[in-house]
Structures are given as C-alpha cells and as structure tokens.
Structure 1
Amino acid sequence: MARILFGKTVLSLSIVAIVSACSPQPATTDLSTDSAFATNSSANNFGTSDDATLATLFVSNPSTFARFQQTLIIPFYDLGLTAAQAQALVDQQAGENVASQLIDHNGDGSKDSLLLQLDFVAAEQKQLTISSNTERFNAQQLTKRTQAEISHKIGGEWQAEKYIGGEFKNVSELTPPPQYTDHSEWIRYEGPGIESDKVGYRIYLDWRNGFDVFGNKTGKPVLHSIGLDGYSSYHNMADWGMDLLKVGKSLGAGGFGYWDGEKVQLVSNISGHTAKVIEDGALYSALQIQYKDWQIAGKTRQLTANLAMTAGSRLVHTRLTTSEPIDNIAIGLVKLPKTTLLQGKQDIPGHSWTYLATWGEQTLTGGSDKMGMAVLFKKGTNKQITGDEHSHVAVLTPDSNELEYYFLSAWDGEPGGITTEAEFVAYLEQEIEKLTMPPRLSLKTAYSEQQKTTTLTADVALDWSERLAASEMQRQTPYYAYGGWDYERQRPSKWEYTTGLQLQAYDDLLKLRPNAQWQQVLTDVIDSFITPEGDIRTYKISNYNIDSLNTGNMLLREYQRNPKPQYKQALDLLRKQLSDHPRTKEGAFWHKKIYPHQLWLDGVYMGMPFLANYSQAFEQGHAFDEVVKEFTISRAKLRDPATGLYFHAWDEARQQEWANKDTGLASQFWGRGLGWLAMALVDVLDIIPADQADLRQPLLDMTTELAAALVKVQDAQTGTWYQILDKPDATGNYLESSASSMFTYFFAKAVNKGYLDARYKDTAIKAYQGLVDEFILVHPDNSVSLVNTCQVAGLGFGRDGSYEYYMSEPVFRNDAKANGPFIMAGVQMAKLLGTN
C-alpha cells in the first residue's frame, strides 16, 4: 500500500478502480476491490516489495489561515500515467482518512485526473506518497457528499406544453423536446441540479437560464429527495430545507448571459439544450449544459457550460466555452430589496480574484433569515460593474473563447451557517485568497525519476534542453508568429520579449545540436513580424517599452544570416527607440513610458544586450559606455549592501505605492528580477571586447559580488532559488524555476568564460541538477514540462510590491521566461562539462 506522510502521521494510499455513484439515493461510493494498475518495471518500485511508488507530492498551504477540505486535482498526464493505467482512489490503511476520487475534469467523457481532499492548518506542509498495490484489499467507503442529477418524467403524456402523469426517472443526459418550457412539469425541479453537503443549486433548462438556490438544513446531499411529489413542495420549508430564491427574469444566484450595454440578454434565443451529468461522486460532481445556436450580438454561437462542486464547499466552478469569442459576458445576482451590495477589491493585479456579492433578507422563507450570494471572477476579466432592473452584473471579457468564474450562496439556516454580513465578507475574502493562491505543489513521479537517474554529462544536459525544446515546438513556438496564438497569455501573438527569449534559446541550442527544421521555424517567426517596409507588426515605438527590444537580438541574428534590407530597417527602428527613450536624471532608461521615472531590473536585460549587440554590429561600439552606465546606475540604486542582492525596482520620483518614500526602492528581492540582471551581465560581457578593460571591469566586479550573494541564498538541499530570495521560510514562498534557470545560466556561462573562477563550477552543477530534479516533469508521451514558474510580476497598477503580492501571482508551467533560460542553461552546462 502507498504511504502518505503528514508530518509524523503515516497514511496509506492505493491505486484502485472507482465506479461513480449514479443512484439518486444517498450512498457510499461503490469501489472495486482489485488494484487496477501495477508498474511493470522494477525500477518503478521505490517502496517495499508490496509497493510500486507512482509519485511523491509535496503540498503546502500558502495562507496564514487553515484550509479545510482543500481540493487538489492532479492530471494523470502529470503522474506519468495513461488514462488506461490510472485507476486511482486513496484507501485508508492507518491513522487518518485521505479522500480521493477519479474524475473527468475537462468534461469530455473520460477520466483524466485524481482529486484529493486534505485539511491544512495555517502554513502547513504535507508530503504524500502515491503507490499502486498488486494485492487485493478492502477499499474504504466514502460518504457521499456531492451530487449532480437530472430527472424527467416517463409514463405520462404531453398535453400542449404540460406533461401530465408519469413518474420521475434519473438520467445521465437529457435534451428537452421543442415544446418544453418553464413550468412544463416534465423535468424535476425544472432543470439539472448540483450540490455539496453545504448547499444545492438548480439551473432552469428553459428560456430563463436562471440559477436558483436550495437551502440545506441537513449537512448532507438532498437533491434526490426534492420535487418527487411535484412542483409546489420544495417552495415550502421541509426537514431538508427549501427553495430559497425568487429568480424571475434575473440571473439568479450566479447565472450568465450577455450585456448589451443596457441590460442582460439571457441565454434564451437558442435552438435547444442538452444537459449531461459528467460526475456524480462522493467528493466531486459536475454537470455540462450545451446551448445550441445561441443568437446573440448578431451572430450564432455554440455555448457549453461546465459546472462542478466539491465536498465541503459552497462554490460552483463554472467554465464557459463559446464557438467564437464573445465580449461582454454578463454574470450576476438577482437584485432584491433589503440587501446590501458588496464588492471585492479592484485595485489588485489582473490575475487576482475578486467578487460581487449581496447580503440580506433575500430568501422566500418569509422570516428574517439572511443569505449571502456572490460571483467570483478574476479582476483582469472585469470590464464593468453595472446592473439592470433585475440583476447586479459583472461584465467580463473572456480569454479568447473561454471564461472561468465561481458562484456561491451562504444561508444562515445551514448547520453552523454564516449569520452576519461581517462573517460573510470575511468568508469571501478567504475564498478569494484560496483561488488567487492555490496550494504550492511539487510533484515527483516515478516515471520522471526513472529518466533523471543518469549521471549528469554534457550530452545529458543537452538532451534535457533538446527535449524541452521539442516539447515546446509542439506546444507553442511556431505559434509565436504574427497571426498566431500565445497560449500562455491567451491572446494573439505579439512582438514581445518572451518570443525573443524563447527563440534565442533555440538558436543557442542549435549551435550544438543542429536542426534545420527548427532553424526554419525561428526564421519564420521573426520574418512574420517584419513588413517589406521594415516596420514591425504589433510594435509601437511611441510606447517606449524597453521590453520590446529583447526580440531585436534574435532579429539581429537573422539579419547576420540573411541580411534583408527590411531587417536592417527594423533594427534601426528599435535603436531609434533607445535614442529617444525617456530616462532618469542620471541617464537610466525608464522601464516603460507608462512607468515614469522607474528603473527595473527586468529592463536591464531587455535593453542592454540589444544596445550592445547593435552598437557592435553597426556603430563600432560607440554605445558601450551607455550600456555599462545602465549597469552601474542599477548597482548604485538597487543593490542592498547588507545582502548583495538587488531590489526589484527604483522610483526616482518616489511617488509609486510600492516605492519607499525615502529611498524610492521596492521592498522585495524578487528572484526573476535579479535573474534578468544576472543574464544581462554575462551576455553583455560577451560583446564588449577584452581590450576595453575600463568598460568591462565594472561588469566583472558586479558579476563577482553577485555570485557571492546568490550562493548565500541558494537552497542548500535542492540547489535552486526561491521566488523571494531572502525569505525561504516565509508562508507561501516556493522554489521558482525561471529565476533558478537564470542563475544556473549565469554561473555556468560565467565560469565557462572566465568571468568567475573555477570554484563556482560546483555551484553551477548543483544548480543545474536541482533544475532537473525539482522542475522537470516527464509525461506519458515522453514530452516534458518545466513547472513552478511565476507567470508574471510587476509593479504599479494594483501591484503593490509587497511580499504578499509576489505570492499572489499565478504559478505556471512551460512559460517562455523559464523555458528559454533552462534551454540556455543546458547549453552552458554542456560546455562546462566538456562539449566544445
């Protein structure tokens, strides 16, 4: 059996088959008693003779409050398992119960993920070991705590729009006939239902598309008993609770529609619905509703809604997918008297979650009981908070054709329910933090670990670079071309620094591992942005965005291989930006025009290697002094003498919220920010000739002192670095892959080039081994992912520069800001370990 270690508590997990409960009656989940997967290779067996370890999962709570029944969803793909191999559920063998369920998370009809639920105290860390077992055992019986169902009558007859007689039958899928409408009395409680042990919801499967609330007094699922005796019963208080909400023509308790500028257009004008029960399990249940041929905004679109709930939660995770993008999706809440409208913080980063909520006497019980309702959404998707006569509305802009949000209700009639507005707001704030800062995860799978056992050599380092490059060539790289799609940012591809970073990494790799097909992709991506007249598509010089210059390095490489006149004109355009770019009083470049008077570490990398490269190629190096000046000002303004580390940014005007009013400095040592500076140092030292010692020496001195500072904050166990470098033990902090890749590149290249002495070779090797061990995940198709990357971090526009802010930004995988440096670090390690 698998062992799960929670501190000193030993729990056991086994991989077995699960059969989702489909009965409308409450029941325990029916489980197989046989292990469904056992590894074939003895190399997989990292446990006892009875165990075959599949994965070790390290999980931490990034909050300073407890998180009970925290849900984790782990795709089979990440576990290194095919869907056929992964038949998984946690089985209690000692001490505590770890609940799990095999689920279809993406709603396509096939199981794809393992769901776990765990309790955490504040800032707690847990370690789980998931193993398969070849022996038979008595599987645990899970109490059913969620439910999804849809039920319609059979055995009666249609009389016009009414269904007369018959009895209800639960089905897994239902498409109502054309005559079906509201109050036809054919579908039990008028639509599909979904619930947890906290609260239930129903979705009207008719022109209203309203979302209603079933208040639950029992603390266990009740949908199966609602409405069996007709349509009036659930409007009266019963032992289980009652229908709480008057929805009318509103969005109800979190429904969706379209905002036409004046009012909500409901999802009414369609050719039909199909509702499906995707999951009906102990811990997780899910519905899918397909809306056919929605006529809206002058177009016909297909719309799919996936709705899911987990045990112990009031939230419904809602994912909308449209056949074409739709701006102005409206989500919201019914507008009722005797309620207070509540709104979450808006001056926050775009990736952070916020809410629109109501609290007050808004139930149909006839008493003075209270209920809160809310919709939760990412701030960056929100265009407007508004409303019409029926609904309070948040108008959202989806990412392409997909939109994610949550809705919830909290009734004071629940067992232990929320009873005051202050309690409701505090609850919402915690739910928002849980969405913004999900648990920190580090997954080590047997499938991945098998492929990491080879002794590190030059070829092994190049192999990892090549494997990640090959994986990205399938996932993203060709689509960086103009007219393509940036899957990381969910927007059309643009001329931006991430494109150049990724392509330069390929170009470095191809010098040691030539690949004509890949080389052509690099050329095609760059060429797609350059017009015959030498303009750069999507680039605006008037933005004075120093980030835009980094891809100029790759453009210069292409020009040197194929000197097209338009390439040179485009390079001159980028150079002109730096000639006119606004600067601080001492001459440092502003990060962007919209970030006035600000010097950021990021900008040193974005601008200075390009300026040095351009000046070497076309100006006989006349701008080298400007390049070095940017570094020396950065050192003077951003370096902390006590630690040798650099703060993320400096505001000369001392006006920004994030800036210290006395010094103008940001407050944190952000890993990737310093990583940009470290890479810039060794890249620029490559360009300035050795005979210009007066210009090189300041950069060499910075390299030496930075190396000493970085070694002090390198994690002793893994060899990698934290998101916030000097706070390894702070709640929520995590080992971060982009900064770790950048520092590895810095050390390896600096030793290779003689900028650092040979004693740092061991530092580079330890760091590189840590990159592979901590951040590389191998999938069943043998593609690889690089995980645990801070997607983005900046300052201003709701980003206050606090430690908590850096913890709130999303943690991603396969981000160019980590992929590029990882590939380049492998190239430098190959050289360090012996490749010429």
Structure 2
Amino acid sequence: MLQNSDFHVVCSFRAPLAVLITAALLGACAKPTPSATTVTTAAPAGLAELTVTNPSAFARPDSAVTVAFADLGVVGIPGSLSVWAGAREVPSQLIDSDGNGSLDSLLAMADFAAGEQQQWQVKPIPAQASVKRTAAEISQKTGGQWQGKVYQGGTFENVQSLTPPPQYTDHSEFIRYEGPGIESDRVAYRIYLDWRNGFDIFGNITGSPVLHQVGLDGYSSYHNMQPWGLDLLKVGKSLGAGGFGYWDGSAAQGVSVLKGHSATIHQSGPLFSSLSIDYHDWQIAGRTLDVRAHLSMQAGSRLLRNQLELAAPAGNAAPLDNLAIGLVKHAGTELLQGTLEVSGHQYTYLATYGKQSLNNDLLGMAVIFKRGKLQKLTADANSHVAVMELTGLAPAKVGGINSARKLDYHLLAAWQGEKNGITNQADFVSYLQQQLEILDRPIRVKISNAATKAAVSQPLTAQQALYWSQQLADAGLKLQAPHYVWGGWDFERERPTTFEYTTGLLLQAFDDLHQLAPNPAYKTAMLNMADSFVAADGSIHSYQREKFNIDSINSGNVLLRAYEQTGEVKYQKATALLRDQLKDHPKTSNGAFWHKKIYPHQVWLDGVYMGIPFLAHHNQLFNNGQGLEEAVHEFVAVRDKLRDPVTGLYFHGWDEQKQQVWANKTTGLSPEFWSRGIGWLAMAVVDTLDFIPRERSDLRAPLEQMARELAVALKAHVDPASQVWYQIPNKPGTPGNYLESSASSMFVYFYAKALNQGLIDNSYRDFTLQAYQGLLNQFVLVDANGTAHLTQMVQVAGLGFGRDGSYDYYQNEPVIRNDAKGVGPFIMAGVQVARLLQ
C-alpha cells in the first residue's frame, strides 16, 4: 500500500460556488507535514464522512465497504488514507477494484450487528497494518531446465506475472500447484493454467492464509492432509468448482483450444486480493476470442468473484451467445437450486452438497449469478451447468466504446473441515440464502466529502436551485443524452436504446430547464432524440403498438414538445400513432388502462404518469380539449382502487382478477406502498392539470382533491431527520429500508409545482423548501472532478415475473446513481423550486 506520497483533494468547483468551496477546503488542500514525534495533540480533519448501514435483519461480520477515491474527493491516487469509527480505526486497504493496474478505491471492513448503522470518517493519515487475511500468488520454477514437457530441477519462485512457454501442459512441474492461487482466511482456490482450465479448492483448517505453504515439494503432498489442510476436489474434465466454458447444446466446452494463457497478480493484500488470467485466441463455436478473467476475494468470505470479459470476435462473426458455468458432478451428492422466482437483478444459485471431497467428507459448492442472466439450467456427463447470457454491446462500436461482452458471477466452497466450518446441508442452504441477500443488499453507504458539504450548504435561492438542476443536466448531457437516440446504447439496461419512458424522461427535464434557464445544448439534446426516433412518415423506430405497453407512451411528451417548437408534421403523425394506441389499449372494468398487454387486468401507479399527461396534452393540442374526460377518469379509477383510506398512500398495483402472486386475494392490491410508484402518480396529477382549462372546474376537481390529499399523506410520511422519504414510506425503521432519491425528487417536484399552480395552500412552502434542501443534503455527491451525482436511487421495481411485491423484494432491487428515473425528476424539482423562489 502506498503510504508516503502526496495526496490531493478536490479544491475547486464550478461557478458560482468556487470561491466559497475553495475557502472551505483550504485546510484539506495543504500537504500534511510529517511530525517529528508520534504524539499528536489533535487528529487531522477528515476528508469524508461515511454513514454505513447493515440492511439485513441478521449480523454481517467481515462486511466490506468500497468507495472510489473520486467519491471521497481525492484526486488521483492518495498517499495515505485510513478509516475511523470515532477513536477506533477500521481496517482498510487501498485497492485496484477493476484490475486495470491502478489503485482506485478504499476498502474498509467491519462487523455489523443486525440493522446496525456506523459513522466512519476517512482521514489522510496512514492506516495501521492489518492482519493478513487474503493472498494471491503464482509461482514458477527457476534454475532448472525443460526436458520435453516436464521441467526438471530448480526451485519455485513467486512472480508477478507469468506466460507459460508453449510446451507447458498439465503436470509439467513448472508452476507450483499448476496455476495461480487466490484465497481468504476461509478457503483457497487454484485455477489450472493449462488446457483443463479447471477451478479447484484447497481446504484450509487454520483460519489464516495458507497458499504460501502449498506444493513446495511438488504435487503429491497436498493430496493428503497437511498442517494447513489439503486439496479437496477431483476436477477431471469437468468445470470443477465454478469454472466456465461454452455450452454447445449438449456439453460444456472448456477453454482448452487456445494460443496460450497469461496470469497476473494485481494485489495480495491483507483484506483484498486479485489476479487476472488472459486466455489468448480461444477457438470456440467458429470464433476466435480473447478472454480475461478478473478474480478477486475479500477477507472472511468464501466467495470468489469472477468478472469475465470477452473481446469482440474478429471479422463479422456473431458474438458468442452464451457462457457455461458450473460444478463437477460427483456421485452421492445432492443438487441444490436457488429459486428462479425472483427479479432478474437478484442473485440465485446452482449448488451441490455431500461427501464429494477427496477427504471423503462433506463439501458444498455453488455458483451464484443474477437470475436475469440465466438462459437455462442443464448438465452434461461431467458437470452441472448454468448456461448464462452475456452482457455487452453489439459487434460494432457504440459511442466509441469497444464491444466487449461480459459475465460477472461468484463461486464458493464450504468444507466441513475448515475452522468453524459448515457441517450439514441445512446449514449450507441457510448460508447460501444469506449470501444471496448480502449480494442483493450491499452495505448501504452515504458519502459526504468536503466539497459536497461546502456546496450544498449555500443559502437556498432560485439561482441555487437552478444551479443544481444545471449540474445534473450537464452531467446527463455527457453520460446519457448522446446515447438516448435511435441506434444508441442504453447502458443502464445493457441493450439498444428504444422508444420508452426513460428515453424521454430525461429529455423532458432538459426542456423544462431550458424554458427557465435557456441553454441550446438542452434543446438540441431533446430535438436530437425526437428526430432520431421519428421517420419522415411519422413512424417511430422500435415502437410496437401491438404490445400495448403504456410505458411507450411517455416519450410521446418529447414529440409533442418537438412539434410545438418546430412545427414539423412528422411529429404530429407520430403522436397520432401513440394516441391511437390509447384508443384501443385494454382497460379494466372500471375503465383504467392495463399497464401492459403482458400484465393483463393490472393497473400500476407507474402507468398513470406514463400515459395520462400525454393523453391530456394531445387532446389539448390537436382535439381542442375534447376527450379530457378519459384522462380525468384514469385518476378517479386509480384513486378508487389503489388509495389506502387510513394512510392516504397508494399501493403500487391492483390486479382486478386477484390472480397474481402479489395480489391480495380479497382486494387485488399489492402488499406494499412503493415511494417511486406514488411519485409517478403525484407527478402525473400536477402535469395533467397543465392541460385542463381553469374554467373546467368539473374536470379539475378530482385531480385537485388528489393533490391536496397527497400533500397531507406525503408530509405525514417524510423522514423528520432528513426531510426526504424512504423506499417504503411507512416502514422507516425496518432493516433494509433506505432514503430513496428518485421518489423524494418526485415528491419535491409535486409540492413545488402544486404550490406554483395554487393547488395547495402556502402553508406547504417552508416544508417544500426543506424537502428540496433534504435532496441536496442526502443525495447529492460532488466528486473530485467537480461532477455532481445523484445517489441512492432504486434501479427499478415492478410486479410479477418473479417480483412478488413484498417488502424484501423492494429492498433487494439494486441501488444505483445517476439513473434517468431519478435525475430527470431532480432537474424538474429544481426548476419548480426556482419558480417558487422567484
């Protein structure tokens, strides 16, 4: 770990706050002066404060938290960082998280009680040496000579990287234990660096790293019990303990026909170790591929993470259509499978348990992967196999990014003989279930660095509200807008960009901002999106009317705005197609739109925002306001079925047939209130009222009533400490629940716009401004480059297809940053707050 070089903290920020923030950071920007004595009278100021929370209702020992240097406000690679919980130092390590050869993150590790929250401070001082609990190594012989395919004589020497010579193969006695090894203090793994590409296990009985003791005298000793443990697995021609290959339709083909391998040790640290293996010119399925496996382990964990990346095939060959991962088949073991009835973002597993170790005792093995990437579970003569879909881009470059295809999964082994090991199948299954939740719910981390604190503490004015909307919009111009066009790539969904709600949501926010603070770049981004999707005849690329997906309607708002601003007839024709869908879109018996054809008889709160503001705007623009009754009726029908009269909150969904697994058999309602779902509804109320004339009080009255009711209900469920809202708004103290930025942004937008429209009285003004400040305090992060990020937003949530609507389901969906579903409403909220303050 580097501990003596200079460290640098971000000391500037974009106007108009640069002078104030620079002044606030002067202390942090000074180079620390070494003390002549070890005695200090005061601890140095921290670079950042971390609020870290265990989101599980069970204890999580040895939990790792990883934070990028830039998020801490650190420019480049710091010389010294340490983590403190009050006066207690938290073990930490600077790590290279992606294996690119450069340190990029700080990893800290602590034990957490169930639901426990800890406050940490990151300081620019050296960390105390941690007990070594992980290792990675590769060792070759030197001082001998090759005799055919066997290396005779010599002694083993650890090296940083190794490319075996062409004659090298299995049992060549050139590489100690035949490949690189990686371990925690629980278990060690080795990967054969030859045609077998097997993943094997070294059982550890000591509770400390052992690889440095293994195979020093050749192959034979570690097949019998040693003071450190022994080799556990007979791999043969199988995938071993979580290896990978290609499923050809009948068998898993290993990475065996190739030009050669190279192995590189990236880190062998106290808390984190990693290595990579490069497979050169793998010949498979008529293609030639380069593959990199980046393997990493953390202290206290049995999990080995394998991040695979496949280079695009040469020429015009189609990319590889799968990778097979799996486990060796052994007689007398039981095959175990995790449930597939979960969200595509959640993890599940394929596992075996039984007397399958070479020591003839109990061993459990598993591969753990995201449900949505699984094509099928199958087997061949040697292995149990999970056939996996690859993530990545089409063969051509998209946006200048190479077309690598990827798979990220974990493998693990739990041996009866390890120190405090698992000794029965029931405990192994319970352990696997906990590992799934740990992967689905990483430790929640809120970061507050010096630059962020200085920036968000400025007095709230109209200019400040616009400033923050501009910061997030400017980031979106670089991160998302260039790809939100026909032919672009949706990085959040890892698929080609299509005409759907997220594509248009951010561009609508840009247009809102442009109307109050004109910037040609915002207008150009919106019109580029519209022009790319709409052909000259008014047809819309990727739009499929027959799916009756109400999510597809929302981006029609961009087309309506484009028509108003340009007068181009093609936009009028395109919006007519969307309006025509709504004429035939299936409805429930009380007249509410189905969410999608594939979700029959179901109404979701999301769908009200997706379709109804467009419907009202289109009727106003092209139908002289006729037909607005249909738009209003949607709100009446939703309020009648989905509103809870006790809390005033709305349930996420309603199944009229009461047949869905998530639906209450009496009411048809989903079991929980989901904040973003309510946020979609709240935004839909105020947006739809934009297009209902003031004189039509009969039509406005139901929506105005809903606005007043929502204002009361949402205020009652705000978190009083932060002035923002939880993912599940009525369960603030339940383990796993977290303050969520997209819904909180939507609620602030609703309040500010309702005040601006005169829908709610002025008594909500101070509350609205406090809630907007809460957005800044809780969710905005300014990194070392001066870029603003919106953090703590749920990636997605829905109902059905493995999504049971339970509390745990909503907590297990990924929490990300900078997604359009949060950034768009945040920008819109800032615009409305600026109008309120003008």
2:45 to 33, 52, 57: 52
CA distance 1:48–1:572, shift in 2 (3 Å): farther
Contact 2:81 2:122 in 1 (8 A): no
Partner of 1:660: helix, strand, or coil?
A: coil
- d(CA) in 1 for partners of 2:668 and 2:65? 40
- d(CA) in 1 for partners of 2:827 and 2:713? 24
Which 5+ residue runs of structure 2 have no aligned equivalent?
Answer: 12-21, 29-39, 313-318, 393-404
Quote the residue 2:694 is aligned against.
690
1:519 to 514, 517, 523: 523
Give 1:86 deviation, angstroms. 5.7
Quote the residue 2:140 is aligned against.
152
Quote the residue 2:101 is aligned against.
109
- d(CA) in 2 for partners of 1:52 and 1:34? 18
- 1:362 aligned onto 2:356: yes
- 1:66 aligned onto 2:66: no
- 1:98 aligned onto 2:102: no
Root mean square deviation, CA, Å = 1.7
Partner of 1:52: helix, strand, or coil?
A: coil
Deviates more, 1:577-586 or 1:96-105: 96-105
Instruction: Letter of the 1:75 partner, please give it.
Output: A
CA distance 1:711–1:176, shift in 2 (3 Å): same
Contact 2:82 2:122 in 1 (8 A): no
1:709 to 709, 713, 730: 713
CA distance 1:822–1:491, shift in 2 (3 Å): same
Partner of 2:744: helix, strand, or coil?
A: helix
Give 1:89 deviation, angstroms. 3.4
- 1:122 aligned onto 2:126: no
Give 1:530 deviation, angstroms. 1.5
Partner of 1:327: helix, strand, or coil?
A: coil
Quote the residue 1:594 is aligned against.
598
2:331 to 324, 337, 350: 337
Give 1:490 deviation, angstroms. 1.4
- d(CA) in 2 for partners of 1:49 and 1:555? 60
2:322 to 309, 320, 328: 328
CA distance 1:92–1:122, shift in 2 (3 Å): closer
- 1:431 aligned onto 2:435: yes
Partner of 2:250: helix, strand, or coil?
A: coil
Give 1:83 deviation, angstroms. 2.3
CA distance 1:666–1:363, shift in 2 (3 Å): same
- d(CA) in 2 for partners of 1:583 and 1:417? 56
Deviations 1:331-389 (A, max 9, x none): 00001111110000111111110000000111112x3x110000000111101000111
Following superposition of structure 1 onto structure 2, how do residues 138-177 of structure 1 map, counting pairs within 5 Å?
Answer: 140-177=128-165
Partner of 1:594: helix, strand, or coil?
A: coil
Contact 1:326 1:397 in 2 (8 A): no
- d(CA) in 2 for partners of 1:42 and 1:210? 57
Contact 1:286 1:309 in 2 (8 A): yes
- d(CA) in 2 for partners of 1:628 and 1:36? 59
Contact 1:645 1:709 in 2 (8 A): yes
Following superposition of structure 1 onto structure 2, how do residues 278-357 of structure 1 map, counting pairs within 5 Å?
Answer: 278-324=266-312, 325-357=319-351
Quote the residue 1:244 is aligned against.
232
Deviations 1:465-498 (A, max 9, x none): 1111111111111101111111111111111101
CA distance 1:563–1:34, shift in 2 (3 Å): closer
Instruction: Letter of the 1:230 partner, please give it.
Output: G
- d(CA) in 1 for partners of 2:462 and 2:288? 56
- d(CA) in 1 for partners of 2:179 and 2:78? 36
- 1:387 aligned onto 2:391: no
Give 1:327 deviation, angstroms. 2.3
Deviations 1:694-721 (A, max 9, x none): 1011111111111011110111121111
Deviations 1:557-584 (A, max 9, x none): 1112223333222111101110000000
Quote the residue 1:22 is aligned against.
none
Give 1:745 deviation, angstroms. 0.4
Quote the residue 1:87 is aligned against.
80
Quote the residue 1:625 is aligned against.
629
Deviates more, 1:574-583 or 1:171-180: 171-180
Quote the residue 1:5 is aligned against.
none
Deviations 1:538-595 (A, max 9, x none): 1111110111000000011111222333322211110111000000011110011111
Instruction: Letter of the 2:165 partner, please give it.
Output: P
Following superposition of structure 1 onto structure 2, how do residues 6-17 of structure 1 map, counting pairs within 5 Å?
Answer: none
2:203 to 187, 190, 215: 215
Give 1:230 deviation, angstroms. 1.1
CA distance 1:564–1:38, shift in 2 (3 Å): closer
Contact 1:54 1:447 in 2 (8 A): no
Give 1:34 deviation, angstroms. 8.6
Contact 1:91 1:140 in 2 (8 A): no
Contact 1:35 1:132 in 2 (8 A): no
CA distance 1:262–1:719, shift in 2 (3 Å): same
Deviations 1:763-801 (A, max 9, x none): 210111011111111111111110000111111111111
2:541 to 531, 537, 544: 537
Instruction: Letter of the 1:792 partner, please give it.
Output: V
- d(CA) in 2 for partners of 1:461 and 1:573? 37
Contact 1:65 1:123 in 2 (8 A): yes
Contact 1:76 1:86 in 2 (8 A): no
Partner of 1:556: helix, strand, or coil?
A: helix
2:251 to 259, 263, 272: 263
Contact 2:96 2:103 in 1 (8 A): yes
Give 1:297 deviation, angstroms. 2.2
Contact 2:7 2:77 in 1 (8 A): no
Quote the residue 1:12 is aligned against.
none
- d(CA) in 1 for partners of 2:673 and 2:810? 10
Quote the residue 2:468 is aligned against.
464
Instruction: Letter of the 1:502 partner, please give it.
Output: L
CA distance 1:274–1:690, shift in 2 (3 Å): same
2:367 to 367, 375, 392: 375
| Percent identity over paired residues | 55
Give 1:97 deviation, angstroms. 5.0
- 1:43 aligned onto 2:24: yes
Partner of 2:256: helix, strand, or coil?
A: coil
Following superposition of structure 1 onto structure 2, how do residues 449-528 of structure 1 map, counting pairs within 5 Å?
Answer: 449-528=453-532
- d(CA) in 1 for partners of 2:522 and 2:648? 40
Deviations 1:194-222 (A, max 9, x none): 00111101000111110000011111111
| Count of aligned residue pairs for this structure pair | 798
Partner of 1:687: helix, strand, or coil?
A: coil
Give 1:442 deviation, angstroms. 1.2
Partner of 1:561: helix, strand, or coil?
A: helix
- d(CA) in 1 for partners of 2:499 and 2:66? 35
Give 1:35 deviation, angstroms. 8.2
Give 1:255 deviation, angstroms. 0.5
Contact 2:53 2:445 in 1 (8 A): yes
Quote the residue 1:729 is aligned against.
733
- d(CA) in 2 for partners of 1:172 and 1:353? 33
Give 1:606 deviation, angstroms. 0.4
Give 1:62 deviation, angstroms. 1.2
Deviations 1:246-300 (A, max 9, x none): 1111110001111111111111122121111011000100011111122222222
Give 1:407 deviation, angstroms. 0.2
Contact 1:55 1:129 in 2 (8 A): yes
- d(CA) in 1 for partners of 2:372 and 2:465? 39
Partner of 2:124: helix, strand, or coil?
A: strand
Contact 2:139 2:156 in 1 (8 A): yes
Deviates more, 1:279-288 or 1:560-569: 560-569
- 1:700 aligned onto 2:712: no
- d(CA) in 2 for partners of 1:86 and 1:348? 43
Contact 1:533 1:566 in 2 (8 A): yes
Contact 2:84 2:121 in 1 (8 A): no
Instruction: Letter of the 1:80 partner, please give it.
Output: G
